[in-house]
Structure 1
Amino acid sequence: MMYLIAAIAGIAGALFGFDEGVIAGALAPLRRDLGIDPVAEGMMTAAVPFGAFLGAIVGGRLALALGRRRLLLAAAVLFVVGALLSAFAFGLWTLTFARLIIGLGVGVAAMMAPLYISECAPAAQRGMLVSIYQLAITLGILGAYVVGYAFHESWRWMFAVGAVPAIALFVGIFGLSDTPRWLAVRGREAEARAALARVREKSESDPAVKAEFAEILTGATQDENRKARLSDLLTPRVRPALIVAMGLFLLQQLSGINAVIYYAPTVFELSGFSSTTTQILATAGIGVVNVLMTLVGMALIDRLGRRLLLLIGFAGTAVALSVIAIGAATGSEMMGKLALGGLVLYIASFAIAIGPLPWVMMSEVFPLDVRALGMSIASLVNWGFNFLVVFSFPVLVAEFGLAGVFGLYAVVCVVGLAFTQWLVPETSGVSLEEIERHLDSGRPLRDLGRFTPRAA
């Protein structure tokens, strides 16, 4: 049952990835049909992360009152509307508005889907199950690249395809209940107990279900009378969790991932791949690496633990970006091979750690009473810097060249190594209630489960 839940919620990730990746194949025909300049291109492309920024604000405010399920249903509707408006857009600004609507759906779903999975999953499998969301993102990106290749002359068909998984998300979520923890905190104990038994595929009288529900109910009873405020996130109890969640998303975005995802064909063009078809095929190859290495990360996340994977990921991306930057700066005759090899290493390193782990840890580190609000603020950092990177990339490349931009991203990844070493806790195999008790104790968050991840 948990795998079904994670797969359905993961469709939101596939839509996120598709709507990010589809623009890579659509830019060439859009430039031809609409004649857009770099600034207009940046605005249209960045409309999705900007809309997601707004969606994260809305999601954070409504998550406790409306629940995770209703907001995922609303996000599915936004995805359908945005996809159809994009397909029938009659100009640049209509298309930009349509992608803004898609972004609203992305922002809401990107909060609610990991949260939904996290609040249903058993502790020993939580990391892997939440990572299904990131796997779905990579599958969505790869699907977008394939669609871009299949409909390389028609950007309208590329965008229209996005309505299909959006409808599937609505149908799938419609058949599920809300999470046991949300139902418990809203005082709906009977429904919460039934929901927990259903996702564990056991009877309500099973001793393990009773014990887990008692722990959930204790936490919910303590939190149900607390109304989360922004000031709560700055208290000594919650501030360490906020720093970790915001910091990981900041580093994820400034590592340049969305510049690579949105503009991969452009990067290959600047690296010497002259054929548009070759650029798209090379980009699709990067998408395949992204999917495969995300699967590797899922297999390791509850075994090696969050911290070690993050260290591996930041080290690999720093090396890969440095190789591309040095090759571009020196004008190497092997720049095409360096770009392809560097991007493969970059995507592989990103996919096993930097991609999934901010989503996983965002859904883990906050106490229940401020979880939705804390995730909302972390998501704002994610989408704000996503917008900044995507909007600025064509402008920065025109000003400083590929070497300067990728060199900057490499420096960020080195900072990520230090951030992980000094501040990130190990949450592998630790229940959400245990994490909350650790925060309540006043002990440093970085000492939580440090160096002792539990095997799945």
Structure 2
Amino acid sequence: MLYFLVAIAAIAGLLFGYDEGIIGVARPLLVKDYPLSQFVDGFMSAAVPLGALAGAIIAGRLTERFGRRRVLMGAAALFAIGALAAAAIGAIWQLVLARLVLGLAIGVAAVTAPLYIAETAPLSIRGALVSTYQLAITFGIVASYLMGIAITGDGTWRSMFGLGCVPGLLFLLGLIFLPESPRWLMMHRGRTEAAASLRRLRKAGAAIEAELDEIEAAVRSSAKASTHVSDLMTPYVKPALIVGMGLFFLQQLSGINAVIYYAPVIFEHAGFGNAQTQVLATIGIGMVNFLTTILAMLLIDRWGRRPLLVFGFLGTAISLLLIAVAVLVPGLLPEWMVIVCLAAYIASFAISLGPLPFVVMSEIFPLRVRGIGMGMASVSNWGFNFVVVFAFPLLLESIGLAGTFILFAVVCLAGVAFTLVRVPETNGISLEQIEAHLQTSRPLVELSARPRGETV
């Protein structure tokens, strides 16, 4: 049941990747029917992160009140409705509205799906299982790119948008058969229902009493705690908020979504004039993203979060600087080096900056404010996603591709310092032990593993 739950919850990531990537593929066909100004084009692309920002703002409250599973069911319905609406538009403003709806679903699911997986996963493989959400995002992006080859011809952009309804309905259907998070049940309905959920999620005959005792103790210790947004600024929660929001800030300003949205444009600026070459190179980049994310899943619970973050930030910074040099000094590096450097950038991101903010976000917040804490971290994610995607064409026009990539590289170098100073190593530490450490008021970065049941 656990792996079925993870597979279903990860469909939220697939839909995220597909709905974000498909606009770049469908745009050349769409503009034949609906010519777009640069402003409308930018806003249409940025409608998804803008809607997701609104979804992130409300997701925390919804998950705390209604539970993780039911909120995901609502998001699944919005995915299906948004996809059908995008396929049936009669004016461009209707497409913007449909993509805002899709963004709302993505924003809610981006908080709730990693939370749902983290609260149901065993300690030993929690990082890998939460990372399936990011893996599904990369798969969705590749699927959207492949649509550019599989579906061609005038008006076929409607089919591209409409196909997003299929995984949305599968997502909704699968959730019907899943249990609620045992941690949410313990907090709202008591030990009996939490135990029933946990038994469905663990191997037959597995001892669950120790895990239930730890969850119940954490709930009891925070029984009088409120769940207002202002509680995130209390001394023992604020360090978690800084890490959660900071990682997503750095993730987005590393430039990843600008690269995903505008990969064909980047190849054009780098000297690849043939449209088919641009599409094939873009698909290749998507495959690198997908395959390296699989590698990340294998390493997250072995190497730990901090080493992978440092490796990822350094790799993205170096790759971006090399691309900037290639653009600034044409002929200094062969054109194929641009593809190699861009692939290295994507690989560095996918093994680190892609999955880890979602993993760390789902681990570091105390149970009582986990939903709203993750919601606020996602506000950082989607707010800066919108800024980067909307501003990228303007940056290209003002400071050029090289200047833009240098700016992103500086952010990545700042990420190394942030990781070393602020980000804790959560590998091998239960959610309840992380919460107990926060309550000691010691720096979060000093978090270390302790035997199960030992107090701090």
TM-score, with normalisation over the residues of structure 2?
A: 0.96
CA distance in 1, matches of 2:226, 2:159: 45
1:231 alignment partner in structure 2: 230
Alpha carbons of structure 1 residues 10 and 190: separation in structure 2 relative to 1, 3 Å: same
Q: Aligned-pair distance for 1:151?
A: 1.7
2:56 alignment partner in structure 1: 56
Secondary structure of residue in 2 paired with 1:428:
coil
1:177 alignment partner in structure 2: 179
Q: Residue type matched to 2:236 in 1? A: R
Q: Which moved more, 1:148-157 or 1:39-48?
A: 148-157
1:386 alignment partner in structure 2: 385
Alpha carbons of structure 1 residues 81 and 358: separation in structure 2 relative to 1, 3 Å: same
Q: Residue type matched to 2:71 in 1? A: L
2:454 alignment partner in structure 1: none
Q: Aligned-pair distance for 1:335?
A: 5.9
Secondary structure of residue in 1 paired with 2:273:
coil
Secondary structure of residue in 2 paired with 1:339:
helix
Question: Is residue 109 from structure 1 mapped to residue 125 from structure 2 by the alignment?
Answer: no
CA distance in 1, matches of 2:377, 2:445: 18
Q: Which moved more, 1:16-25 or 1:309-318?
A: 16-25
1:202 alignment partner in structure 2: 204
Alignment of 1:265-284 (within 5 A): 265-284=264-283
Q: Aligned-pair distance for 1:334?
A: 4.4
Q: Residue type matched to 2:387 in 1? A: L
1:163 alignment partner in structure 2: 165
2:44 alignment partner in structure 1: 44
CA distance in 1, matches of 2:76, 2:224: 31
Deviation string 1:309-355 (CA, Å, 9 cap, x unpaired) is 00000000001110111111223364632321111000000000000
CA distance in 2, matches of 1:126, 1:22: 30
Give the gaps of 5 or more residues in structure 1: 451-456
1:329 alignment partner in structure 2: 328
Secondary structure of residue in 2 paired with 1:331:
coil
Q: Residue type matched to 2:73 in 1? A: L
Q: How many residues align?
A: 448
Q: Aligned-pair distance for 1:89?
A: 1.3
CA distance in 2, matches of 1:288, 1:432: 33
Alignment of 1:248-287 (within 5 A): 248-287=247-286
Q: Residue type matched to 2:28 in 1? A: A
CA RMSD of aligned residues (A): 1.4
2:75 alignment partner in structure 1: 75
Q: Aligned-pair distance for 1:91?
A: 2.1
CA distance in 2, matches of 1:135, 1:112: 16
Question: Is residue 362 from structure 1 mapped to residue 332 from structure 2 by the alignment?
Answer: no
Q: Residue type matched to 2:159 in 1? A: W
2:151 alignment partner in structure 1: 151
Cα contact 1:47–1:96 (8 A) shared by 2: yes
Deviation string 1:142-178 (CA, Å, 9 cap, x unpaired) is 1111112212432111111111111110011111121
2:435 alignment partner in structure 1: 436
Alpha carbons of structure 1 residues 335 and 32: separation in structure 2 relative to 1, 3 Å: farther
CA distance in 2, matches of 1:224, 1:128: 30
Give the gaps of 5 or more residues in structure 2: 450-456
CA distance in 2, matches of 1:244, 1:448: 13
1:84 alignment partner in structure 2: 84
Question: Is residue 353 from structure 1 mapped to residue 340 from structure 2 by the alignment?
Answer: no
CA distance in 2, matches of 1:225, 1:19: 41
CA distance in 2, matches of 1:85, 1:12: 18
Secondary structure of residue in 2 paired with 1:372:
helix
CA distance in 1, matches of 2:15, 2:214: 34
Alpha carbons of structure 1 residues 147 and 112: separation in structure 2 relative to 1, 3 Å: same
1:292 alignment partner in structure 2: 291
Deviation string 1:82-140 (CA, Å, 9 cap, x unpaired) is 10111111222111110000000000000010000000011111000000111011111
Deviation string 1:253-308 (CA, Å, 9 cap, x unpaired) is 00000001111111112112222222111111111101110011110000000000
1:454 alignment partner in structure 2: none
CA distance in 2, matches of 1:413, 1:161: 35
Q: Residue type matched to 1:72 in 2? A: L
Q: Which moved more, 1:219-228 or 1:269-278?
A: 219-228
Secondary structure of residue in 2 paired with 1:303:
helix
Alignment of 1:375-454 (within 5 A): 375-449=374-448
Q: Aligned-pair distance for 1:236?
A: 1.3
Q: Residue type matched to 2:286 in 1? A: G
1:453 alignment partner in structure 2: none
Alignment of 1:306-325 (within 5 A): 306-325=305-324
CA distance in 2, matches of 1:103, 1:50: 7
Q: Aligned-pair distance for 1:221?
A: 2.4
CA distance in 2, matches of 1:224, 1:174: 30
1:130 alignment partner in structure 2: 130
CA distance in 1, matches of 2:286, 2:162: 21
Q: Residue type matched to 1:193 in 2? A: A
Identity among equivalent positions (%) equals 53
Q: Aligned-pair distance for 1:252?
A: 0.1
Q: Which moved more, 1:252-261 or 1:32-41?
A: 32-41
CA distance in 2, matches of 1:227, 1:186: 13
1:245 alignment partner in structure 2: 244
Secondary structure of residue in 1 paired with 2:271:
coil
1:193 alignment partner in structure 2: 195
Cα contact 2:179–2:200 (8 A) shared by 1: no
Cα contact 1:123–1:431 (8 A) shared by 2: yes
